[in-house]
Structure formats: structure tokens, C-alpha cells
Structure 1
């Protein structure tokens, strides 16, 4: 049955079943309580190009290994109680700072709103390589963060980095 035209909120899909954001959040929480992974179709472009609209993502519950900077996590947005998938920029004992790869920072999020970690991304039926901290500690903690920041500096320019290094904008980085 088609969705009524008056409903304008985004709908997600969990293996082909359309769900509202609230239902998806509830289902994800229930599945994670059982210790299982949750797989669904992502919507939106806030994590582009890492996660694209229509990609299938798997969110795993946090099991022993806490998320760290540059991990992509699922959390409940404290302002509107909706599910968000964004990258962790910094962590403290009680909060974390997250940001989409293609959006503004979300601000400080309480750790109690953290729901899980993205462990797999599938695009067009193929699994994208995803560094698992338990299997690939070097790639997950050194290589991918370094490449990510290098690409971000190339995309957005070196302005902030140059200021931190005490260089003028006309100078180059060796």
C-alpha cells in the first residue's frame, strides 16, 4: 500500500520493510538488546561519500571495544530523538562529538544516546571494505584516520592546519 502523500518524514527500510525513524530506532534498540547486529537501508547524504543514500549498513552493538575517534556510530539525537549515523570526532568519559562527512558537527552527545557502531556497508550488492578494530587494528586506528584527514584537508584547504603550524596561507606544507 503506498504511503499517504501528507506524511513527509523520511522512511527507512529494514530488509525491504518501510519503517518510520521512530520505529527503526525502537527496532534497532530491541535487536541490540539481544546482542545481534541490525541491518538497514540508509537514507540521506550527511555521510556522503562514505555512506550513500540507498547503501545497506550494519550497526553492531558495542561489545567490549569502545568506539574511538573516526568510528562511524549510530546514536539517538538528543534534540529530536531520531536515529543518526555519523562519525565520532572526539570522546570524553560522558559525551562525544560527532559529525557527518558531508554536514556540520552535531554538537555534544551524551554517551547514553550511543546505540552501536557501523561495522559493514554494502553498495550495489557488494560489501565495501570496512576496518574492524578487532581484526585490523593498524588499519582502523592509524591508516584510515590518516587518509581521512588528508582527504579532508585537500577538500577544504589547509587554512586551519597552516594556522596550527604557524605558517602563512601562501606557504606550502612540505
Structure 2
């Protein structure tokens, strides 16, 4: 844990611990996303609100969930791309899946994404809002992610968003 300019910087394991405890109490958990594995749906610096998994009637293919790795205790926010007795997870901007996980390793699901508006041009926000709208079609997104159709689209979009 480290305090830096009015922000508390936590490791992935520390955030995972807080998330697990708050979700067990039935309380939503809000934090700032780090990384680009879910971009452009969730980008570095976006705030995300995780709702406890038991508040959702059923976890489905296409849901973006908060998963804690059982071996290292890292928090991962990725999409379910396939479901049978276990769940196959993958970042939308990643070429490979994370592998299968058990239901008890999923502690919450992404209820809301708050776009980080600091120094972001309006056309960036428009593109991001289009992707957030597309998230309503989560089964199609999961299918295109599973068959590696989505990743090139995400990479091209990220390139456009990062051009000056």
C-alpha cells in the first residue's frame, strides 16, 4: 500500500482482498482500472463498479466479471467467453484466454463503467460510448472475442484513440 497525491496505490492482490471482503458483505466496489486488456470497453484510468456476484440472478456468457486467481490472488476483470461447468475468461484486447475458472473464484460483475474524462477529446468519448453501447450485445461480443475477431478491432480502435 502506498499513498501518492491523495490516491491510495494498491497491488492487484490488495485490491482483490478488498473486493472479496466488500462483495461478501453485499456492497458494490469501485476502483480505477489499470491496463488495456479490456480496451476499448474498459480503458486504463476508467472507474468501474463491481457488483457482488450473488446479486445477479445468473452469470452468463458475455458478462464482464471480477475474477481472483486462486494461485496468486491477482484480480482480473475480463469477459466470460464460454460457459459450461466452468467459465472461460478472456480480455477483449488479448489474443489468448485466461483459461477456465470455477464459479467461486468469480466475486462480482461489472455493473458500470465510468469513462475517465480527463484530457480526452470528444471524438474519443464518442468512440468509447459506441463500444459501451455494443456491450449490451454481450453474447455477440463474447463470440467474436472467443474466435479472435474482436481483438484486431480493439487494436485498431486503440490505435485511433491513441493517435495525436
Does TM, normalized by the shorter one, top 0.5?
A: yes
> Of 113, 117, 121, which residue of structure 1 is paired with 2:105?
113
Structure 2 vs 1, CA of residues 48 and 155 (structure 1 numbering), >3 Å: closer, same or farther?
closer
Residue 21 (structure 1) shift: 1.5
Aligned pair partner of 2:76 in 65, 80, 84: 84
Corresponding position: 1:100 with 2:91: yes
CA RMSD of aligned residues (A): 3.1
- Equivalent position of 2:18 in the other structure: 27
Please list every run of 5 or more consecutive structure 2 residues that lacks an aligned counterpart in the other structure: 118-124, 154-164
Structure 2 SS opposite 1:105: coil
Post-superposition offset of 1:153:
3.6
Structure 1 unmatched runs, 5+: 4-14, 132-138, 158-174
Assess if the C-alpha contact under 8 Å between 2:32 and 2:47 holds in 1. Answer: yes
Bigger Rg, structure 1 or 2: 1
Deviations 1:128-151 (A, max 9, x none): 6968xxxxxxx84xx343367569
Aligned residues: 135
* CA–CA separation in structure 2 for the residues paired with 1:40 and 1:105: 24
Deviation digits for residues 34-64 of structure 1, max 9, x if unmatched? 1110000000111111100000000100214
Once the two structures are superposed, the pairs formed by residues 135-150 of structure 1 within 5 Å of their partners are: 140=136, 143-146=137-140
Higher relative contact order (CA 8 A, sep 6+): 2
- 1:34 and 1:43 map into 2 onto residues whose CA distance is 25
Q: Counterpart in 2 of 1:39?
A: 30
Shift of residue 124, structure 1, vs aligned partner: 2.6
